[in-house]
Amino acid sequence: MTSENLWTAFGLTLFAGLCTGIGSALAFLTKRTNKKFLSLALGFSAGVMIYVSMIEIFRKAQDSLILGLGEKMGSWITIVSFFGGMLFIAAIDKLIPSHENPHEMHSVEEISESEKTAYPNAEKKLLRMGIFTALAVAIHNFPEGFATLIASLQDPALGVSIAIAVAIHNIPEGIAVSIPLYYATGSHKKAFYYSFLSGLAEPAGAIIGYLILAPFMTDTLFGIVFAGVGGIMVFISLDQLLPTAREYGEHHLSIYGLVLGMLVMAVSLLLFM
């Protein structure tokens, strides 16, 4: 692993995390959400994540574990690690109340309207909700950042695809953070600032995870981590991206986006193999 590869991987992770800022900017620059486009984009992001996790990440993790543990044990540990990743991100989701969970949010106009009417003259409640949402985004972004970094170190082309998919799904999170904070403080600057900070949890998670695990990294440990990363991304896609895509627009648009994301990922893997 070269320092150039590490910087490239970190740059991709930073890009994905900072896209929460794009969501924050969109919340203030647009009166209405382009629901059809966002539904298609979120479906596309889910398609990329699911395809790359099941076809590429799972296989590479299994190869590493078989190399270190033998075929039978390596295959079993791959399966356990994959579903362990799902359980890990599910536990994080469970600990966050649905009211503060950024993945429960919808469009710009819906959020704006709800924040103006839900707690009339109750800025403190809105501020609390906005800060908790920012913390929820940060908690979610930690494992996502580490996942993007690990994938990028293994295969830069794979890392680019995952970073783009994560970036797309970070945009609604930026909206979810910034709107309640804006109505609590009346300041676009403060709302954008907190949204920006929550996005920085993505590269922070990548750095912390890398510093902890890098000294002990072997084929076996890499396989376990990589399989867990695949499980995390599949769970995020099924539990967050696809349901949100359906909420934003028509059911068929989210599925079209899903299929398109899978197709683009399949072709890109073939071209860069």
Q: Count CB-CB contacts under 10 A for residue 211.
A: 9
Residue 170 marked in a binding site: yes
Residue 56 marked in a binding site: no
Residue 106 marked in a binding site: no
Residue 144 marked in a binding site: yes
Do residues 74 and 223 touch, judged by C-beta distance below 8 A?
A: yes
Q: Count CB-CB contacts under 10 A for residue 218.
A: 11
Q: Among all chains, which residue has been given the structure tokens 């376990």?
A: 224
Whole-angstrom Cα distance, residue 119 to residue 109? 16
Do residues 96 and 139 touch, judged by C-beta distance below 8 A?
A: yes
* Cβ neighbours of residue 231 closer than 8 Å, sequence gap 6 or more: 53, 81, 82, 83, 84, 85, 86, 87, 88, 89
Instruction: Indicate the SS3 state at residue 32.
Output: coil
CA angle 127–131–135, rounded 5-degree value: 170
* Cβ neighbours of residue 178 closer than 8 Å, sequence gap 6 or more: 23, 24, 27, 28, 130, 191, 192, 194, 195
Alpha-carbon dihedral 82, 83, 87, 90, rounded to 10 degrees: 80
Residue 141 marked in a binding site: yes
Residue 71 marked in a binding site: no
Could you tell me which residues are annotated as the binding site for Fe(2+)?
141, 144, 170, 173, 202
Could you tell me which residues are annotated as the binding site for Zn(2+)?
144, 169, 173
Could you tell me which residues are annotated as the binding site?
141, 144, 169-170, 173, 202
